[in-house]
Amino acid sequence: MTDITTLRIAATIACFVVFIGIVAWACSRRNTQRFAEAARLPFEQD
Protein backbone atom coordinates (compact mmCIF):
# COMPACT_ATOMS: atom_id res chain seq x y z
CA MET A 1 0.00 0.00 0.00
CA THR A 2 1.23 3.46 -0.92
CA ASP A 3 1.43 6.09 1.75
CA ILE A 4 0.23 9.65 1.33
CA THR A 5 3.74 11.08 1.10
CA THR A 6 4.47 9.11 -2.06
CA LEU A 7 1.25 10.34 -3.63
CA ARG A 8 2.09 13.94 -2.72
CA ILE A 9 5.55 13.59 -4.27
CA ALA A 10 4.07 12.14 -7.46
CA ALA A 11 1.49 14.93 -7.68
CA THR A 12 4.19 17.58 -7.15
CA ILE A 13 6.39 16.11 -9.86
CA ALA A 14 3.43 15.83 -12.26
CA CYS A 15 2.46 19.46 -11.67
CA PHE A 16 6.06 20.58 -12.17
CA VAL A 17 6.27 18.69 -15.48
CA VAL A 18 3.02 20.29 -16.64
CA PHE A 19 4.31 23.73 -15.61
CA ILE A 20 7.54 23.25 -17.56
CA GLY A 21 5.51 22.10 -20.56
CA ILE A 22 3.34 25.23 -20.45
CA VAL A 23 6.38 27.49 -20.15
CA ALA A 24 8.06 25.73 -23.09
CA TRP A 25 4.88 26.06 -25.17
CA ALA A 26 4.50 29.75 -24.33
CA CYS A 27 8.13 30.53 -25.16
CA SER A 28 8.34 28.53 -28.38
CA ARG A 29 9.12 30.46 -31.54
CA ARG A 30 6.21 28.80 -33.29
CA ASN A 31 3.73 30.72 -31.10
CA THR A 32 5.45 34.12 -31.19
CA GLN A 33 3.40 35.53 -34.07
CA ARG A 34 0.08 34.37 -32.62
CA PHE A 35 0.86 35.89 -29.21
CA ALA A 36 2.00 39.16 -30.81
CA GLU A 37 -1.31 39.42 -32.67
CA ALA A 38 -3.26 38.67 -29.50
CA ALA A 39 -1.30 41.36 -27.63
CA ARG A 40 -2.36 43.97 -30.19
CA LEU A 41 -6.09 43.11 -30.05
CA PRO A 42 -7.03 45.60 -27.27
CA PHE A 43 -5.50 48.48 -29.25
CA GLU A 44 -7.21 47.81 -32.57
CA GLN A 45 -10.25 49.88 -33.42
CA ASP A 46 -13.31 48.61 -35.22
Domain ranges of the chain: 1-36
pLDDT score at 46: 67
pLDDT at residue 4, rounded to an integer: 92
What are the angstrom distances between the C-alpha of 17 and each of 20, 31, 42, 46? Answer: 5, 20, 32, 41
pLDDT digits (tens, 9 = 90+) for 3-36: 999 999 999 999 999 999 999 998 888 888 898 9
Distance of CA 28 to the CA centre of its chain: 11
Asked whether 29 and 36 are in contact (CB, 8 A), the reply is no
* pTM (2 d.p.): 0.67
Quick one: how many helices (H) and strands (E) in the chain? 2, 0
CA–centroid distance for 34 within its chain: 16
